[in-house]
Amino acid sequence: MTKNFTIPQSVQWKNDHIFLLDQQKLPLETVYIELRTIQDVWDAIFTLKVRGAPAIGITAAFGLALAANNYDENDLTSFHEKLNKDREFLASSRPTAVNLAWALDRLSSKVKSATSVNEAKTILTHEAIQIQAEDEEVCRQIGTHALSLFKDQDKVLTICNAGSIATARYGTALAPFYLAKDAGKTLQVFASETRPVLQGARLTTWELMQADVDVTLITDNMAAHTIATKGINAIIVGADRITANGDTANKIGTYNLAILAKAFQIPFYVAAPLSTFDPTLEAGHLIPIEERDAKEITHIFGQQVAPEGVKVFNPAFDVTPNELISAIITEKGILRGNYKVEIEQLFSSLF
């Protein structure tokens, strides 16, 4: 039985609002904010107060339910019209993590069966709650599969935050580290700081330390040296979108690590739920890559560090080609080999 970890949930549904851990304030302050309007939800996703593909999807789902619960419309046609507009609005908050569109689509298709406005509101709320509950179980399953790939005392490198606060609970890439405790395995985690937003330094170290997981922080440019000198056994990362052929978008810097893994001949694992797969896209070059404000690079904690007016390129994600990925760990098991065929089989078996 998995012990109850003392890590906070990032998203909580409170019937008429969302209670959200403000990840921008971590690790110095643990602050929860209330999201009461669809604009609050859009802003929280856009400004990374909530981030991580599954947590973005869960928040957007609650956001749509929240918006719909406040509609005055009495007829279903105008209710659906308004819902579609709000769905589009929330979907526009961030482009790369497909869980956002996945969760909103799931609500939209479920609500089609409603025969009254009241029933539609209930369906939307229930479905959002269900998405969050399922994600917790899915992450636990991913963690169990991922743990089977590690030996006691392994040293594992990760980037960004694919942890509990990026999901409903446990995380994806970080789930095996929590589950290792119960399985009697000791794993040592190396967290790459993840410039420019520092999810590794601020969030991954914060949540792993609370669960007493052995974690060491490095800067991104220390990865090769750390692999060489500390004897890193494997790299594990999360994902924002995985295409039909297994190409994987994840936080900027992930591709660098995959190339390093190949150079050092250590496994490079991607851990992700099926809600992060986008079988409608053939390959990674079709994934929309978010580019963010130049200030994330030219400024550090509000302090300008680059010359005024310098040209900046700030992609938030990169795409790791499938051939660099040793295995993709899902709730349904571990894919390794011909991803195109395995992903097709996985999705056709679901319907």
Which residues lie near ligand MRU (CB under 6 A)?
Answer: 51-54, 97, 160, 162, 166-167, 171-172, 199, 238-240, 250-251, 316
CB of 194 to ligand MRU, least distance (A): 8
Residue carrying the six token digits 């119960």: 182
Query: What is the radius of gyration, based on Cα positions, of the chain?
Result: 20
CB of 302 to ligand MRU, least distance (A): 20
CB of 202 to ligand MRU, least distance (A): 10
DSSP-derived letter for residue 204 is I
Q: Cβ neighbours of residue 303 under 8 Å, at least 6 residues apart?
A: none
Residue closest to ligand MRU when measured from CB atoms:
238
- Of the pair 187, 239, the CB lying nearest ligand MRU is at 239
- Of the pair 143, 238, the CB lying nearest ligand MRU is at 238
CB of 2 to ligand MRU, least distance (A): 18
- Of the pair 123, 208, the CB lying nearest ligand MRU is at 208
Q: Alpha-carbon dihedral of residues 161, 167, 169, 170, nearest 10 degrees?
A: -40
Residue 304's beta-bridge partner residues? Answer: 299
72-88 in b/e form (b: 16+ CB < 10 A) is eeeebeebbeebeebbe
- Of the pair 167, 243, the CB lying nearest ligand MRU is at 167
CB of 139 to ligand MRU, least distance (A): 8
Q: Cβ neighbours of residue 201 under 8 Å, at least 6 residues apart?
A: 191, 193, 194, 217
The count of other CB atoms within 10 Å of the CB of residue 255 is: 19
- Of the pair 124, 138, the CB lying nearest ligand MRU is at 138
- Of the pair 123, 242, the CB lying nearest ligand MRU is at 242
Burial of residue 312, with CB atoms counted within 10 A of its CB: 0-12 exposed, 13-18 middle, 19 or more buried: middle
- How far apart, in whole angstroms, are the C-alpha atoms of residue 165 and residue 37? 22
Which position among 240, 247, 278, 318 bears the catalytic label? Answer: 240
Q: Token digits for 23?
A: 């990840």
* Coil vs helix vs strand at 70: coil
CA separation, residue 43 to residues 37, 38, 100, 285, 309 (Å): 10, 9, 14, 28, 27
CB of 144 to ligand MRU, least distance (A): 16
Q: Token digits for 184?
A: 């009697």
Q: Assess contact for 220 and 158: CB atoms under 8 A.
A: no
Identify whether 72 is a catalytic site residue.
Answer: no
Residues recognised as catalytic = 240
